[in-house]
Homo-oligomer: A and B are copies of this chain.
Amino acid sequence: MAPIRLGMVGGGNDAFIGAVHRIAARMDDRFELVAGALSSTPEKAAASAKALGLARSYGCFEEMAEAEAAREDGIEAVAIVTPNHVHYPASKPFLEKGIHVICDKPLTATMEDAAAMEKVVADSDALFILTHNYTGYPMIRQARAMVEAGDLGHVRIVQVEYAQDWLTPPVETQGVKQAEWRTDPERSGAGGAVGDIGTHAYILANFVSGLKAESLAADLQSFGAGRTLDDNAHMMLRFAGGARGMLWCSQVVPGNENALKLRVYGDKGGLEWAQEDPNYLWFTPLGEPKRLITRAGAGSADALGAITRTPSGHPEGYLEGFANIYTEAADAIRAVQGGTSREKAMGLLPGIAEGMAGMAFINASVTSSAQDAAWVTL
């Protein structure tokens, strides 16, 4: 199958996440990057495009959407890898031209933009995929399947946390670009850690447990000197059906690099997973010894074969998990091009619904915290 022609908005030289998207798109040879508006500064965009050997470079995304839509060999999909406040304006022209969008999370910086995004997605025929990449890990899929199959019985408790340490010092005042926009409400939105990593934790908890959170009570803090957005957040969750949970996200806890951890417990068993060791999944059936299920190993579902590349014991990592989203996106794009409905084509891919859920989560967290941790409906 010919690779999908891909464009990119954002992701110039300095950016971390742009490079990740490019490797993820390339991993399984399902995309070919051919065009980009890689920076908001045209010169920088051109320089980055040249460094990447990109066929076509544009000074801005509006121009790119226009021009690519007009070409016969124009891009079929675009990756939006800008800071949050650009997600909506950058996605809009492509969606309106019917070009599929693969957008970084969270959905937008504001609730207004989110509502607008929801509308433009609804009005488009194109797919909108949100890179909640952690849902692409094989053992997360395994976990979700086990919950669905009833291996845990009735789910009672969900514990999720996402801990990092890189904002422990006030690095946003020390020239760290990644920190600058992430701690800036104008570019990040109302949530700090809550938006940047809390949404990942929240979406993952819903994804695996199969439960929808109904309300939350949150206590947000800004420990970094002069920081206005939260860098640490504690919250309690109530799920439909009676399950309860806790969510902790922090970017100020030394020794935690990218420590996303999920634990789900039912009346018959539990599951435990940690992103930094993603090839392992603990399954704890009540009254039996704990079992360590490994990616592609004994006890992992055959169905996972489609989203793993190496045998058991040959570890896959962050990039492979991210690539699974891209590869499934490629399948989905080819499917809708072949006439499949958008809904069916999406399968387990995160999209506008997860984007809206994440925005509701950020909004509720900030609202609850401002009301002294009152319960806020999601």
Contacts and interface: CB of A to CB of B under 8 A. Distances in A.
Contacts of A16: 311
Contact of A2 (B53, B286, B287): B53
Kindly report how many copies of this chain are found in the complex they form together.
Answer: 4
Quick one: which of A258, A269, A290 has the most chain B CB within 10 A? A290
Contacts of A372: 375
A316 to B, nearest CB: 5
Nearest to A164: B313
A197 B265 CA distance: 19
A284 interface: yes
A17 B253 CA distance: 36
B258 A311 contact: yes
Given A27-B23, A234-B236, A299 B289 contact: yes
B223 A156 contact: yes
Contacts of A27: 23, 26-27
A276 interface: yes
Nearest to A29: B26
Given A257-B297, A313-B259, A236 B286 contact: no
A289 B292 contact: yes
Contact of A290 (B1, B277, B291): B291
A315 B313 contact: no
Nearest to A281: B289
Given A16-B311, A297-B289, A375 B375 contact: no
A196 to B, nearest CB: 13
29 contacts: A2-B53, A26-B27, A27-B27, A156-B223, A157-B232, A157-B252, A165-B286, A217-B217, A217-B236, A217-B373, A221-B244, A234-B245, A236-B373, A250-B265, A253-B270, A254-B269, A255-B282, A255-B286, A255-B290, A257-B294, A257-B311, A258-B311, A276-B279, A289-B291, A309-B319, A310-B319, A315-B318, A316-B318, A373-B373
Given A26-B27, A315-B317, A315-B318, 5 more contacts: A164-B313, A217-B373, A254-B268, A291-B291, A317-B320
Interface of A: 1-3, 16, 19-20, 22-23, 26-29, 52-53, 156-157, 159, 164-165, 168-169, 217, 219, 221, 223, 232, 234-236, 238, 244-246, 248, 250, 252-259, 263, 265-270, 272, 275-279, 282-294, 297-299, 309-320, 372-373, 375
